[in-house]
Structure 1
């Protein structure tokens, strides 16, 4: 118990030291390593578990990508990975979705749980003590703890209303209210690492759910069940036959447009063309998986005369794959014309996830798997995709691709991306074919830490120069906790002659 409290105190102090008034950088990697080492000190057996090992490696890799790329996606990947790591550390056999849920709830609520449990313990102990006089325990229970709780709420109210906070300011050279609140939040989140909110019941329930279907045998109802299976099989064949014919005609028309002269139908723009394709794919994929899960449930999977139902289901999955390929072509046409954006990259991510869902559904029918098999495998795939996606510096890629490959360059969109685009934006300052005289709002202009209600209007050229100037100023003022390789390379490229 004391070991756990010591680890919590050390982790909270490390969190405050690494992140207070710092930006993302090597601090994420150091903190991730501290969390992993702390878990191993508290639970040495974790090192033997493959699930925990995989998630721990994913956490370190995502933290390394923060240092290397300094991107928002890598920070999201690191947070999700650490949350999952906390969840699986409590029970290593948890599925990804259960582990993430347990980790997230533990981070959010474990501190409240242990606080109230300790408070209740103090109260119960008082009943065993003498009624007269004030012992140390009584003083703590009735005075110190209420004062601490009151102080916590004071910090919250002071941060919400500076005017209120000004009436009760502490000397700045002694303590900072802002730091106290930051340290408190760090302690509350760190509590989830060593104190789990959930017990083992949720994971034990998850473990009991099988991946492979088991035939339900009931001899007294055998004839009746065979009749039901036969009827459902026939209905399934009719439904899949009609849907396959409909989707076949749709795919034929869709690919005819794509492979004719790659021109869009009259009155249809690229944006609407892609969005319609994605919306159709979403509906079709959900419908395909839902119908397959319905008709291939329970004993229908073991019905000896379901061969045609299976074949039609395979064709349905294949045709949905063709629909997915069609959306890929549409999205690429959109990108070739107008360049990359986060949303257009997000379409590809969705397509990859949809493909994984279709493949796993095909595997479910082929090998008689359960819906829990689909959830487990697809949640693992989503986790791996998130981690691997953080390996790419997407903002830098978007800027480079749009400047050199896109038919139409949207400079205003590039101005709203991260500092990773600054080297590419600097090349536009001397680009002979790019006009930077377009007016934009200067949302970087601040006054008293608040945006102007009406931001100043400046040219794109001035906006880029101000962004470069602001980045260089921030870079020079950074401490070691905020160091990252990406910013260092950006600074070097911006200062090349």
Structure 2
């Protein structure tokens, strides 16, 4: 039996998909074991690098092979966006091997599968959820589609049936085991001992395959099944089809049962309700504009021109607490605008111009507030160096400015909340790709080891990936010149160390990383940044 093409509510050319009742086609039966073997070969006991690029190419080839030539997804711009994003994230994995590049690559591939499942989706979040739901069921569909060989006896077919049936409770058992292991440390310790003994028994039974390796192969099957077998998921596409890009006027629905009734009473009631809502909105925008004007005036006078922290001033508390509160205030302001402009107030002609200008002034003032947050973060970086959260705040503020711009579109173009979510989701995805393109750890090390910083968190720098080590070795003198060197103990508490101890720790980390790099004989976990760092360290010694 060949795979069937289910008819979607949104497309007459849905992608090639299998059903629970259908057996797998020949190409599916070939791709499933190929994907499992490839996954195991690329990732077992290997770090992330070129292997992510190779597996990404495998996923893309599978999609193009399985998709019908005239499938609607081939004409969807979102599909090609995710193809480009997946290749870009995988390329950055081959270059840097960073966690954010891995996240960008995996998110792009997952959303790609979502758009293959439902080509007419627009929200990247719904594409992500669609793919996740499909992948979660794909392994069951794959097992249901695999049949026992026809030339075997009834006993073999019966064993095959019960063997597949046993995998479902086994998967549920594994899920509950993970939950209990996280919640109960004692259970986790005892179960680890039991699994270790089971692994030793399997190691004697199968010398070349350990219990952990078997679990990894099972993971490879789950991933490959999600890539090869597409389970139709219509819920999120159907839910998205109810939304539009613009707000529409809503009229009261009064049952008439075929009799036309005078509606002047209802019309008067509607106008009174809109007038009350307008007065509430005008009061909110007017009062908060005055309050926000006072806050912005203080910040501009204090932060924008010639800010110098006084001796003993707690800059960390000033940035952390103030930044979080101000960001929450901005998000709350955006939510209030969305609330008031959600329905018929967009069409209230008597007060709409005043309301729009009041909301616009509020949005602009929130942009000024966001700029003040950026200045707080800038002063912290200027005085204390760069950390991951400080970089995150910078990019989050970029999203805030973009979000405020889309709020202006909602105010003046009657955009819907769905439109804003769609645009801001794409902006968040673009920021994720932008973060994946950066060699942030090396840039952090170069900045934090400047001679003007009297305090250096050497423990933070040594915990970074190995590609930062040439930068640390090149700036050894900064460790000797620093007045205050800190590292973290086993409990996470900051501890002050001497420059000599810091140099010893740096030498130890360099030797261990070089030995680890030489021990990697396979190419799967290769990254260009690590290779470059290893060559630089050889030249520096």
Match of 2:215 among 166, 178, 181: 181
Q: Equivalent residue for 2:404? A: 358
Q: Equivalent residue for 1:452? A: none
Alpha-carbon distance between aligned partners in 1 of 2:169 and 2:241, rounded to the nearest angstrom: 43
Give how far 1:411 is off: 2.2
CA contact (8 A) 2:453 2:482 kept: no
Stretch of structure 1 that moved more, 167-176 or 351-360:
167-176
Change (3 A) 1:216 1:406: farther
Alpha-carbon distance between aligned partners in 1 of 2:145 and 2:393, rounded to the nearest angstrom: 49
Give how far 1:151 is off: 8.6
Alpha-carbon distance between aligned partners in 2 of 1:439 and 1:346, rounded to the nearest angstrom: 23
Q: What TM-score, normalized to structure 2?
A: 0.80
Q: Equivalent residue for 2:56? A: 32
Matched, 1:64 2:109: no
Match of 1:140 among 150, 153, 160: 160
Measured against aligned partners, the alpha-carbon deviations of 1:395-449 in whole angstroms (never above 9, x if no partner) come to 0010011112753433222122111210111123345843599685787xxxxxx
CA contact (8 A) 1:428 1:434 kept: no
Q: Equivalent residue for 1:434? A: 481
Change (3 A) 1:216 1:296: same
Match of 2:292 among 235, 244, 247: 247
Alpha-carbon distance between aligned partners in 2 of 1:160 and 1:349, rounded to the nearest angstrom: 46
Would you say how many aligned residue pairs link Structure 1 and Structure 2?
Answer: 471
Give how far 1:107 is off: 3.3
Matched, 1:415 2:472: no
> Does the residue aligned with 1:23 lie in a helix, a strand or coil?
coil
Match of 1:468 among 501, 510, 528: 510
Measured against aligned partners, the alpha-carbon deviations of 1:60-106 in whole angstroms (never above 9, x if no partner) come to 10110111122111111111111111111101222101011122333
Q: Equivalent residue for 2:132? A: 104
Match of 1:191 among 218, 221, 225: 225
Matched, 1:228 2:279: no
Alpha-carbon distance between aligned partners in 2 of 1:266 and 1:484, rounded to the nearest angstrom: 45
Change (3 A) 1:304 1:159: farther
Matched, 1:277 2:297: no
Q: What is the root-mean-square deviation in Å for CA atoms of aligned residues? A: 2.9
Give how far 1:266 is off: 7.9
After superposition, residues 75-114 of structure 1 pair within 5 angstroms as 75-94=102-121, 95-112=123-140, 114=142
CA contact (8 A) 1:158 1:164 kept: no
Matched, 1:238 2:266: no
Give how far 1:169 is off: 3.6
Stretch of structure 1 that moved more, 211-220 or 79-88:
211-220
Change (3 A) 1:204 1:159: farther
CA contact (8 A) 1:439 1:459 kept: no
Give how far 1:167 is off: 3.8
Alpha-carbon distance between aligned partners in 1 of 2:250 and 2:169, rounded to the nearest angstrom: 59
CA contact (8 A) 1:436 1:459 kept: no
Stretch of structure 1 that moved more, 45-54 or 373-382:
45-54
Q: What TM-score, normalized to structure 1?
A: 0.87
Q: Equivalent residue for 1:344? A: 390
Measured against aligned partners, the alpha-carbon deviations of 1:202-237 in whole angstroms (never above 9, x if no partner) come to 212212311111112458232221121112112211
Change (3 A) 1:415 1:382: same
